[in-house]
């Protein structure tokens, strides 16, 4: 995939995540700085999501671990276990009491 296509897809995903957090039922604050989206929950825990240009992946850092997602077959999928980015985020956010992602 060419760099501009990756950037467009990754930025759309980060925007979608930020919008979902802003519209969610829960106490989470979302801040974006360039390629990095930082989500902080009311208990102080954070999830960091960033666009990793070199590998053309979206990386997620959470208390439960780090996850890498690449664009495959029309979705952001983990190369490790095949999980889908938004499904994993819904799971991580639900653990913090944030729903409707």
pLDDT in tens, 35-81: 999 999 888 889 999 999 999 999 999 988 899 999 999 999 998 99
Edge-to-edge, what's the strand order for the sheet holding 36-41?
28-33, 36-41, 46-52, 57-62, 65-72, 75-78
Q: Tell whether the torsion through CA atoms of 92, 70, 56 and 6 is positive or negative.
A: negative
- Position 78 scores a pLDDT of 94
> pTM score, two decimals?
0.87
- Position 22 scores a pLDDT of 82
Q: Could you give all domains of the chain from N- to C-terminal order, each with its CATH number?
A: 3-94 (3.30.920.10)
d(CA 75, CA 58): 11
Tokens linked to 80: 């490790």
d(CA 9, CA 46): 23
């Amino acid at each position: 995939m060419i760099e501009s296509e990756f950037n467009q897809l990754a930025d759309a995903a980060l925007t979608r995540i930020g919008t979902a957090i802003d519209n969610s039922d829960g106490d989470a604050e979302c801040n974006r700085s360039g390629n990095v989206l930082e989500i902080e929950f009311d208990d102080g825990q954070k999830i960091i999501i960033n666009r990793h240009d070199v590998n053309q992946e979206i990386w997620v850092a959470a208390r439960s671990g780090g996850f890498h997602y690449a664009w495959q077959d029309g979705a952001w999928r983990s190369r490790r276990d095949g999980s889908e980015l938004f499904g994993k985020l819904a799971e991580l956010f639900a653990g913090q009491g944030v729903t409707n992602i």
